Amino acid sequence: MPAIPILSNNEIIDGFCDAIWLEDGLAKNTLASYRADLVIFERWLKANGREKSLLEVTRQDILAYLADAFSQSKKPRTSARLLSTLKRLYQFLLREGSVKEDPTLKIRSPKIPKNIPQSLIEIDVDKILEAPNTDSTMGIRDRAMLEVLYGSGLRVSELVSIRMNQINLSEGVIRVVGKGSKERVIPIGEPARDWVGKYLEISRPVILGRGISDTLFVTNRHQGMSRQAFWNLIRKYVFVAGVKKKVSPHTLRHAFATHLLNHGADLRVVQLLLGHANVSTTQIYTHVAKERLKSLHEKHHPRG
């Protein structure tokens, strides 16, 4: 009878990542996050005299790992993510028959405090949107990108990966492939449509030159913009606009959701537009909206 091959830790991690990719259709960034967490755990085992196969890990190993992470001032959210990755791994290994018991089974995830996202008031958003110099080809492109981001609530990864065939200006919609390869169709407002139209007519042909790209928003390298490059653009225009708050691309996504709710949008509609799988994720924005309404009441009502 042939011997059962002993898998290395790298092979175990590869098999796990392949399995969850097939099961859930996870995005590359999500898979990379799972892999990175498991590599960090494996390195921690080696560095702490616990060099062993992932198949031999015990509950005590994991508790020691989490305690070490806590002692290094890791945030509860980070510790919870690390534990969640390990739980997912050992559920998979248990199902495959590679381990006899799940060492994470009775380990509770740390409580995560609800962080209410910082949002921008509408005046600050207007200042940021108007910051690009629209007398330049790049300025028109940047204004179009900002308008689409705020006007549709896209994730920055979704914005920079929009293809030419995903936007329909006559219908005023964008077809987006989001997390887990889930597709949704999002309306964009009149300002965004106008600026994208100007960008397509005036700027994009100049920026591309003789280059070819099917990405909607391109750079002078004839390719799509990276998330980091767009983050730097946001930082630049926040400075130009004189907005003193810390702003990222995600802040404009927060503003999109909060302003919709402030103006009476239904929570379920906002959930669909944001691409949240669970409405509980969207509910955080109701707290932002309530805080904004409370501050307005206190400021303007005679008995506020």
* Catalytically active residues, by annotation: 155, 179, 250, 253, 276, 285
Q: How far apart are CA 152 and CA 150, in angstroms?
A: 6
Name the amino acid, one letter, at 284.
I
Q: Does the CA dihedral 75-79-85-91 come out positive or negative? A: negative
116, two tokens? 């209410």
Q: How far apart are CA 36 and CA 182, in angstroms?
A: 24
Q: How far apart are CA 97 and CA 75, in angstroms?
A: 33
What residues form DSSP beta bridges with 259? none
Q: Residues near 53 by Cβ (< 8 Å), separated by ≥ 6?
A: 6, 7, 9, 12
Distances in Å between the Cα of 286 and the Cα atoms of 33, 259, 280 are: 29, 10, 10
What's the distance, CA 74 to chain centroid?
Answer: 20
Question: Which single residue is written with the structure tokens 């200042």?
Answer: 127
Q: Give the number of residues written for the chain.
A: 304
Name the amino acid, one letter, at 164.
M
Computed over its alpha carbons, how large is the radius of gyration of the chain? Answer: 23
Q: How many CB atoms lie within 10 A of CB 248?
A: 15
